[in-house]
Amino acid sequence: MTIRVVHYINQFFGQKGGEEAANLPIELADGPVGPGAALQAALTGKAEIVKTIICGDSYFNENEGLACMGIREILQDIKPDLIIAGPAFNAGRYGMACGKVGEVAHGLGIPVISGMYNENPGYELYRNFSYIVETTNSAAGMRQAIPAMAKLVTAWIEKEGKLGTPAEEGYMPRGLRVNFFAEERGAKRAVNMLIAKLEGTPFQTEYEMPVFDRVAPQPAILDLSTATIALVTSGGVVPKCNPNRIESSSASKYGEYSIGGLECLCEATHETAHGGYDPVACNKDPNRVLPVDVLRDLEREGRIGKLHDKFYTTVGNGTSVANSKAFGAEIAMHLKNAGVSAAILTST
Amino acid sequence: MKLEIGNIHVKELAFGENTALSSGRVQINREELAGWIRELDHRIAEVKLDIALPGESTRIMPVKDVIEARCKAEGKGFMFPGRNPGDEAMVGEGRTHVLKGMAIVTTGKVVGFQEGIIDMSGPGAEYTPFSKTQNLVITCEVDDTCNQYDHEAILRRVGIETANRIGQLAMTATADETRTYETKPLIQQAAEYPNLPKVGYVYMLQSQGLMHDTYLYGVDVKTILPTLLYPTEVMDGAIMSGNCVSACDKNPSIVHQNSPVIHELYENHGIKYNFMGVIITNENVTLADKERSSNYVAKLAVQMGLDAVIISEEGFGNPDADLVMNCRKLEEAGIKTVLLTDEYAGQNGESQSLADSTPKGDAVITNGNANQVIHLPAMQRLIGHDTYADMIAGGWDGSLQADGSITAEIQVITGATNELGYHNLCAMAG
């Protein structure tokens, strides 16, 4: 059985012209075009390039939304098993387009195999979405790139999409953690690693410890009595019944809720959606996670200017750092736009 | 301490007229056992018993605990000691009989958001070790006088007491295989293999409150200081689970009974190293407790003269801080470490995986990314309640579909990323 492939290339490899044709909108051609011919030859009997998408690099990058919509429609129509994009070598705009095609296809659940130079910004920005073979920095390396990409496509077909590590298969790391079932259970692997460490023989850690961002604090607020203070929590405090259905773990969203006019939170009005700590105390007195009562006291005493009338909340439990960073950036923007001077972040 | 473990292979688990074990067949009188369970606490409103076998189209949820039926055939003490007056004897010596291949599983309405799923077949079954055991499932509901703490405690008791009762069937049975485990008092153990490096096991236990607690000889471990155990004590239930949040990386009691790092360390004991014993520690929520417990762990490891340890975590996020503190302080004391953890790297695996970090953690075993999304097709039979799929940790609004299938993170699957290395899931950079 042969799988059905769509190939994405730019105007130059699509034989439409050089820079003067870079504004070419999306065109769809039957069968392989340009480097697709050599790819098709290398994949005979395993894969068939049914269509080739050709698009000008400038057009794609200057009309990204439109281009992505066009690509999505084509892919939804053709429903290929796999997409091959490029190779783009070190061509920046071409690499960005191939990377973006990877992102669109990923959203549709279609895998993408591409080829790029390791410094192409398309790799750096979109590596999460495609298997990208490392190429030389110019098209002079086409003769090595095509067999390398064909080899990865072949492996992908033979292993039914379950590719091994970047080193085993010859693609550049995608920056992803991928689950698999190991031959030995974790406890046995731990003992083997312990023995290697004791004996001073080489071993490979299964997870490299992460390096964290450090955020420099803002300068101190000199006069709190005129400051607007906001409350932000990862402790999952939400209005009763969790109206936006923030997940109890691995949150995909955060909530913005009003506390305007509320003197404090209480059992009848608020609760926690968090699944990662004993919720009983918080549900009984949600102020202990989101201290509205104390902030109102401070407001009354004139020690702070005012409490911001909205609070932001999410569930920290099992929520990926990537999601948390995105929530943080958006919440900070909301607070800044509302003229908030400082925020108190409570965790659990 | 020296303990003989005699395994009796359970070839068949079935309901029948009387409760008995014969020729590897465990038969349970359903009515009689359900009645006995109901008498365990006057607040129990309903008890239902089912048998779920490997390969069946059966889903069990929300799962609270999984327990192995064992009994003390010779020697002091009782299984899961320290819970009832008179049960205070130390365990871990003598002879213990195990009904191997079956388990007691407890389910019923959720206590929190946290309990897990066991599928006996289909894609979900690959991720849970408990799809391979013949399961006696207790669905137990309590009356509305119970608060969440009462509810959790009753269900925990029901599981343990039932396992102990079924375990009694093995008392006079002939074991299909026997294995002896022995660890001597520290000074003698050190003298036995003077030329081998001394290794230990730092056994971290969840202790963060409701649905996050663990019990050592019946004592809530958030109230303990780190302490020493002989490795064999856990085989007699010295550690009892009181937690199942998130279900993928919490240790049901059966995992403690068969504690994988302890069993694997025994394999090379006296050959590659001298396995000296176990340090039990907790994962409390305050920074002061974390500092105190990790300081205490490092002190005990030095006091024991250890050269290297394996450290296993239970849970994620907040306990990552305990794992990292234990690692850093032990390495600073000159003790080599290997860490066992799991990952929360996002649904596509694109994020960093731990909430804390140390460059000294250079030897890490991962038991998989718990955020990976899985589709669990509908099963013909449901034991328990699937309506909680949208709210349990790892599910979201819409996880449960109209056809009974569930799309969720593997977090929801009991034991999927077990951090004691109970099974084979792993993750790699890809």
What is the overall mean pLDDT for chain A? Answer: 95
Integer-rounded Cα radius of gyration of chain A? 27
Domain boundaries, chain A: 3-169, 224-346
- The CA dihedral of A61, A65, A69, A75, to the nearest 10 degrees, is 40
Q: Give catalytic residue positions of B.
A: 244
Q: CA of A227 to nearest chain B CA: how many angstroms apart?
A: 30
Q: Do the Cβ atoms of A179 and B427 come within 8 Å?
A: yes
Residues 182-221 in A contacting B (C-alpha not used; CB under 8 Å): 182-191, 193-195, 197-199, 203, 205-212
pLDDT in tens, B89-134: 999 999 999 999 999 999 999 887 678 999 999 999 999 999 999 9
User: Which is it for strands B274-283 and B227-229: parallel, antiparallel or unpaired?
Assistant: antiparallel
> Which residues are registered as beta bridge partners of B14?
B27
This prediction's pTM: 0.91
Higher pLDDT, B130 or A323: B130
Kindly provide the ipTM of the predicted complex, given to two decimals: 0.97
Give the pLDDT band of residue B209 (cuts 50, 70, 90).
Answer: confident
Q: Is the pLDDT of residue A211 over 90?
A: no
B279: nearest Cα among B245, B248, B239, B311: B311
Structure tokens at A7: 């190939």
Residues from chain A that touch B421, judged by Cβ atoms under 8 A, are 185-190
Q: Give per-residue pLDDT as tens, B317-371.
A: 899 999 999 999 999 999 999 999 999 999 999 888 998 999 999 999 999 999 9
Residues 6+ apart with CB under 8 A from A149: A39, A84, A87, A113, A114, A115, A133
Per-residue pLDDT at B210: 78
Residues A107 and A144: their CA atoms lie apart, in Å, by 30
Question: With contacts defined as CB-CB under 8 Å, which chain B residues touch A179?
Answer: 349, 368-369, 372, 410, 425-427
Q: Is A3-169 a CATH 3.40.190.10 domain?
A: no
Which of A133, A65, A125 lies closest to A99 in space, CA to CA? A125
Residues of B numbered 280-299 whose beta carbons fall under 8 angstroms of chain A's beta carbons: which are they?
A: 285
Indicate if the pLDDT at residue A30 is higher than 80.
yes
Are A303 and A224 contacting, i.e. CB atoms less than 8 angstroms apart?
Answer: yes
**Is residue A1's pLDDT more than 80?**
no
Give the one of A174, A250, A277 whose C-beta lies nearest to B371's C-beta.
A250
| pLDDT value of position B113 | 67
Q: Where in chain B are the domains?
A: 2-412
